[in-house]
Amino acid sequence: MSATHAFDVVVIGAGLAGFRAALRSAALGSRVAVIERMPDFGGSSILAGGFFAFAGTDLQHSRSIKDTDELLRQDLLELGHGANDPALVEAYVKYQLEEYKYIVGLGTHFMELQPSSGHSVPRGHRADPKQLMSILDAQARAEKNITFFYSTRAQRLEKAANGSRINTVVTHGTAGEVNFEARQGIVLCSGGFSRAKDLLQVFAPHVRRSVPAGGLGNEGDGLKMAWEHGAAFADLGYVNGTFGTYPYPEADELPAVIFPVYRGGICVNKQAKRFMSESKSYKSLGEAVLLQESGIAFQIFDQKIMDQAVADVPSYNFRAIEAKGRIPKADTIAELAGKLDIPAHTLADTLGLYNRDVASGVDSHFGRTNLSHTFGNLAAIDTAPYYGFPSTAMLSTTYGGLRVNAGMQVLNIWGDPIPGLFAAGEIMGGLHGESYMTGSALGKALIFGRIAGESAAAA
C-alpha cells in the first residue's frame, strides 16, 4: 500500500512558478506540499537569462524611460498577432508591478534594463535568477506551512472517490510510491517540455534541429497528467527556438545566446543572404534560422557594435563569446567571408545594399526599421574590424501548454474548468500567442504563480 500525505494545496514543481504559488497559498493560510522530481529546486528558472518584462517600475523612472501598462498590453497583443488570450494578457498587466515590488521587497536586485525582443522601450529588467530563487527558497523554508519533497516525481492525477474533482497526486521517489491528497487544489508548475523528445515530435517537429537548453526535469510530465483528464492546450503550434546560440556546443555545455543583431548587426544564411528583418523577436528569428541550410545563420557586425558589448548582461556579452574563439574577426568583408566559409561577393553585395538602405531610410528587402521591435535606430555596418557569429536556435522554453482561465484553472477541451486543477508558468499557454516578448516567461511564472496559489487557496 502506498503512503498518503494530506495537504491543502499540492504544488508540482519547484521552479519560479511553483515557489510563487506555494508562497502565496501559504500566506493565505493553506498547508502546502511542493513536489519536485529533481534533487534540488530551480528548473529552467535558475538557468534563465534573468530578464523580466515589467512596465512602469522605479528602475525605468530612474532612467527616464516612460513605460506604462497600456504600452505593455499593446506590445504583448501586437506580438501575439491576436492569438493570445486577452484575459491572460490583462491578468499579466494587472499584477506585474505588484509582483515586481514583491520580489524587490524580498531583496531581489535588478541590475540592468535592456531593450530586447518585443520591447517598444527598454523593459528587460534583469535579475540574477540564482539569487532570486535562493531568496524564494529561504522564504519558503521559513514558512511553516510549506513542506518540500525533493526527488519525488509526480506521475498521475486521480479524482476523489466521488468523482467531483481531482484531489490526488500519485508520486514516485526515494520513499517509493506516495500519494499526496489536496483538500483545496493541485497546482501544476512542472514547466515546459523542452527535454521531451516524444512531445516535441508531436507538437513541434520543426525545432528538432535546435540545441536543447531547458531544465533537465522538463519532460512535459504535467501536460501528460492533465491531458489524461481532458485538458485543452493553447499556443502549442507556436513553439519556437530562441535564435542566437552557437551551433556546436561542447558536451554538457549550457547553451547561451547573444544578440549583436539587436545592436544593429544583420543576419545572413550560408549563401550570405539576409532572410528576414533582424528586429523581429528572437523566436521568429529562431523559427526562420531552422529553415535555412543546416539550420545555421551568421550574425554579421562591426567594431561599433562590438564596442556596445555589456560584460554583465549575458546576451550582450559578445566579448565572452569572442574569448572562446567563436566569433571570427577580420579587417575586410572578404576576409570575414573566407573565415565563415560563405561567398565573399554575395556578402559584400548584401552589406552594401543594407548600408545603402540604412542611409536612405528604407530596408528595401525586409522592411527593417529599428534595432529590435520598434526600439533604436539602424546604423551602417561599416567600421572594421568585422565580426561574424555562427548562430542557430536553442530550445530553452516551450511557451505553449495547458489552456487556463484568468484564475489559472485548467480548462478542458470544452472550455470548462477541471475542478481541483490549476496551472502556472511555462506549462500553460495563452499569454504569448504567436510570438514572445523577452522577459514574459519569467514574468508569467511569477505573476501567474501568484494567481494560481491564490486561486488554489480559495478553492
Ligand X SMILES: Cc1cc2nc3c(=O)[nH]c(=O)nc-3n(C[C@H](O)[C@H](O)[C@H](O)COP(=O)(O)OP(=O)(O)OC[C@H]3O[C@@H](n4cnc5c(N)ncnc54)[C@H](O)[C@@H]3O)c2cc1C
Per CB under 6 A, residues contacting ligand X are 12-18, 35-38, 42-45, 47-51, 153-154, 189-191, 213-215, 217-218, 221, 396-397, 425-427, 439-443, 445
Pick 37 or 283: Cβ nearer ligand X? 37
Least CB distance to ligand X at residue 119 (A): 12
Quote the least distance from Cβ 291 to ligand X, whole Å: 22
Q: Which residues contact 295 (CB under 8 A, 6 or more apart)?
A: 209, 210, 247, 289, 392, 393
Q: How near is the Cβ of 262 to ligand X at its closest, in Å?
A: 14
Least Å distance between CB 142 and ligand X?
A: 20
Retrieve residue 283's grid coordinates.
523566436
Q: Using DSSP bridges, classify how beta strands 417-423 and 409-411 pair: parallel, antiparallel or unpaired.
A: antiparallel
What DSSP string runs through 308-377? Answer: T--TT-GGG-HHHHHHTT-S-EESSHHHHHHHHTS-HHHHHHHHHHHHHHHHHT--TTT---SSBTTBS-
Q: Select 209 or 273, whichever has its Cβ closest to ligand X.
A: 209
- 297 closest CA partner among 336, 250, 358, 342: 342
Distance separating alpha carbons of residues 149 and 228, to the nearest angstrom: 24
Torsion from C-alpha of 139, 141, 142, 147, nearest 10 degrees: 120
- Which of residues 247 and 328 has its CB atom nearest to ligand X in the complex? 247
Could you tell me the smallest distance in angstroms from the CB atom of residue 346 to ligand X? Answer: 33
> At its nearest, how many Å lie between ligand X and the CB of residue 399?
7
Residue 374 CB, nearest approach to ligand X (Å): 20
Least separation in angstroms between residue 92's CB and ligand X is: 12
Q: How many helices (H) and strands (E) does the chain have?
A: 13, 19
Cell numbers representing residue 273 in the block: 543572404
Residue 263: count other Cβ atoms within 10 Å of its Cβ.
23
Cα 303 to the center of its chain, rounded Å: 30
> Rounded to an integer, what distance in angstroms lies between the CA atom of residue 217 and that of residue 44?
9
Sign for the pseudo-dihedral over CA of 247, 253, 255, 260: negative
Between 242 and 350, name the residue whose CB sits nearer to ligand X: 242
User: Are residues 140 and 19 in contact, defined by beta-carbon separation less than 8 angstroms?
Assistant: yes
- What is the smallest separation between the CB atom of 447 and ligand X, expressed in angstroms? 11
CB of 31 to ligand X, least distance (A): 19
**Cis preceding linkage at 385, omega within 30:** yes
Query: With respect to ligand X, which residue has the nearer C-beta, 34 or 300?
Result: 34
C-alpha of 49 from chain center: 9
In the bound state with ligand X, the residue whose beta carbon lies nearer, of 310 and 330, is 310
Q: Select 393 or 442, whichever has its Cβ closest to ligand X.
A: 442
Per-residue cell: 345: 561577393
* Nearest-approach distance from CB 410 to ligand X, in angstroms: 14
Which element (helix H / strand E) includes 159?
strand 152-159
- Strands 386-395 and 211-212 turn out to be parallel
Query: Measured from the CB atom, is 217 or 390 closer to ligand X?
Result: 217
Q: Which is nearer to ligand X, 258 or 342 (CB)?
A: 258
The residue among 50 and 328 lying less far from ligand X, judged by its C-beta, is 50
Asked if residues 441 and 76 have their Cβ atoms less than 8 Å apart, the reply is no
Measuring CA to CA, which residue among 423, 407, 401 is closest to residue 17?
423
Rank residues 56 and 124 by Cβ distance to ligand X and give the closer one.
124
Distance (Å) of CA 52 to CA 48, 104, 114, 116: 10, 12, 10, 11
